[in-house]
Amino acid sequence: MDQIDGLDPELQFLASKQETSYEWELFKENVRPLKGGRNVRLLNDALKSHAHNQLKKSLLETRSRLIEAIDEYKGNDPLLPWLERIKWVQESFPPGGDCSGLIVIYEQCLRAFWHSDRYKDDLRYLKVWLEYAKNCADAEVIYNFLDANEIGKSHSAYYVACALHMESKSKMKVANDIFSLGISRDAQP
């Protein structure tokens, strides 16, 4: 112990072999940012799970419980357990990508409710569509689907996301028309 005391603080820490719970520092370039931020404890556990089998098993058990919660839900807002599952996957699989299964979850959620009039104007449901569109090779197809099915069209987020996508494809006139349409609908009583 006396040998450790004579070292600089960083070497003391390394020699002590303490765990920091700051795995995000080691993997931060691989962590996909979320607009709403992240739960640091969940993030650290998720990143630790790459090396610890017990944590990996715990993540898989939690995923199974969330799937069961969707199937067993008896409340008055069936979209809620889907949103909880999406949020959990976003936080628990920080790099995103195929290993998270997030795209499949988006697709399952969207298919479950696209025919429901109840959710056509729900901002939470629209946000799932918009996140899904960001992860699609051809998001224009998604925006056309939303338009044709009158999903989310009372929310400015729909027009902003669609117009920004068109701008990214250098379709400036179409983007401007979408912005104008969104503004005109917002101005209506």
Check if the beta carbon of residue 113 is closer than 8 Å to that of residue 107: no
Please state, in angstroms and rounded to a whole number, the distance separating the CA atoms of residues 128 and 116.
15
Please state, in angstroms and rounded to a whole number, the distance separating the CA atoms of residues 72 and 95.
29
Number of folded domains in the chain?
Answer: 2
Shared domain for 21 and 59, answered yes or no, is yes
pLDDT of residue 30: 56
Shared domain for 108 and 145, answered yes or no, is no
pLDDT tens for each residue of the chain, 189 residues long: 445 455 555 444 445 554 545 554 555 555 666 666 666 666 666 666 656 677 667 777 887 888 888 999 999 999 999 999 999 888 877 666 666 788 989 999 999 999 999 999 999 999 999 999 998 888 999 999 999 999 999 999 999 999 999 999 999 999 999 999 999 886 554
Q: Which of 113, 141, 159 is the last residue of a domain?
A: 113
In three-state secondary structure terms, 59 is helix
Shared domain for 133 and 159, answered yes or no, is yes
**Structural domain for 176, as ranges:** 116-189
Shared domain for 86 and 146, answered yes or no, is no
Q: Which of 70, 96, 113 is the last residue of a domain?
A: 113
Shared domain for 75 and 96, answered yes or no, is yes
Shared domain for 92 and 2, answered yes or no, is yes
Shared domain for 108 and 128, answered yes or no, is no
